[in-house]
Amino acid sequence: DGGITQSPKYLFRKEGQNVTLSCEQNLNHDAMYWYRQDPGQGLRLIYYSQIVNDFQKGDIAEGYSVSREKKESFPLTVTSAQKNPTAFYLCASIPTGALSEAFFGQGTRLTVV
Amino acid sequence: GQQVMQIPQYQHVQEGEDFTTYCNSSTTLSNIQWYKQRPGGHPVFLIQLVKSGEVKKQKRLTFQFGEAKKNSSLHITATQTTDVGTYFCAGARSNDYKLSFGAGTTVTVRA
């Protein structure tokens, strides 16, 4: 069963703690993305990676970190430096080659209390 | 940096009516994509436009890419309750995998 998997679906953390969101894909896609979704603001790009061991900051990278050690995995860490971390986080991947359809995971809803 | 703007933010439509949502970029795009997100779901790809002036249709949906490749529109005719959701446009510059999304148009339908 091919696809992109995000876990967990819901995540609760205390303020000041770092938390890592998982994103795994078995589609053999090279490019992977992390977006944050807040009501009325659409999808804002946090980080993206075109190939293994390489990634670029998106529009709202401050307070976040990523790694891309394997093609299948692109975990996102929300650090304590992120001032307003409560949001819906979406991971996506795109096939190799020219930019084409993005496949999204089911998302992780992070609540920081 | 690249910005993709989308209007209107909300669209309340009577069932059977038509509506259009618009997408504008501050930079020339290599392509434009459209996605639909149902309430509680994740974005699902609808279509991609690549050529200047391109028009594509999917049943009641008509997608257009502007001549300057800086704007796009999605027109839905005879709106149905199944059209409820948020429609996003997304674009990237040439040779760049940075895919930027608009804020979306959230559509509600009155039966």
In this model, does residue B1 exceed pLDDT 70? no
* B17-32 per-residue burial string, b: 16 or more CB within 10 A, e: under 16: eebebbbbbebebebb
Instruction: Write out chain B residues lying below 8 Å of A90, CB-based.
Output: 42-43
Contacts of A81 (CB under 8 A, 6+ apart): A62, A63
CA atoms of A31 and A24, how far apart (whole Å): 12
Q: What is the mean pLDDT of chain A?
A: 93
Share of chain A above pLDDT 70, in %: 98
What is the per-residue pLDDT for B12? 97
CB contact under 8 A, A48 and B6: no
Cα–Cα distance, B72 to A58 (Å, whole number): 23
B46 φ/ψ sector (left φ>0, alpha ψ -120 to 50, else beta): alpha
Question: Which of A43, A60, A104 is the mutation pick for testing B, counting most B CBs within 10 A?
Answer: A43
The mean per-residue pLDDT over the stretch B12-32 comes to: 95
Q: What is the pLDDT of residue A96?
A: 72
Total domains in chain B come to 1
- Average pLDDT, stretch A82-111? 92
**Who among A42, A99, A105 is closest to B99 (CB)?**
A99
Is B88 near chain A, with CB under 8 Å? yes
Give A48: exposed, middle or buried? Use CB within 10 Å, 0-12, 13-18, 19+: buried
Q: What is the mean pLDDT of chain B?
A: 94
CATH number of the domain bearing residue B49: 2.60.40.10
- Buried b or exposed e, range B69-104, using 16+ CB within 10 angstroms: bbbbbbbbeebeeebebbbbbbbbbeebbbbbbbbb
Q: What is the mean pLDDT of residues A76-88?
A: 94
- Tell which wins on pLDDT, B95 or B69: B69
CA–CA separation, B12 and B90 (whole Å): 22
> From the list B1, B6, B48, which residue is nearest A101 (CB)?
B48
> Over 80: is that where the pLDDT of A97 sits?
no
Q: What is the pLDDT of residues A23-69, one digit of tens each?
A: 999 999 999 999 999 987 789 999 999 999 999 999 999 999 999 99
User: Chain B within 8 Å of A7 (Cβ-Cβ)?
Assistant: no
The 10s digit of each residue's pLDDT in B48-61 is 999 999 999 999 99
Q: What is the pLDDT of residue B109?
A: 96
Size of interface A-B (CB pairs under 8 A): 58
Q: What is the pLDDT of residue A39?
A: 82
pLDDT recorded at residue A1 = 57
Q: Which two tokens stand for residue B8?
A: 């209107």
Of B9, B48, B100, the CB nearest to A40: B9
pLDDT of A33 reads: 97
Kindly list the residues from chain B whose CB atom is less than 8 angstroms away from the CB atom of residue A100.
48
**Does B34 reach chain A within 8 Å, measured CB to CB?**
no
Tell me if B103 and A40 make a contact (CB, 8 A cut-off): yes
DSSP state of B83: G
Range of the domain at B39: 4-110
B74 touches chain A (CB under 8 A): no
Q: What is the pLDDT of residue B100?
A: 93
* pLDDT band for position B2 (cuts 50, 70, 90): low
Instruction: For A44, name the nearest residue in chain B, comparing CA atoms only.
Output: B101
pLDDT, tens digit, 9 for 90 and up, residues B58-84: 999 999 999 999 999 999 999 999 999
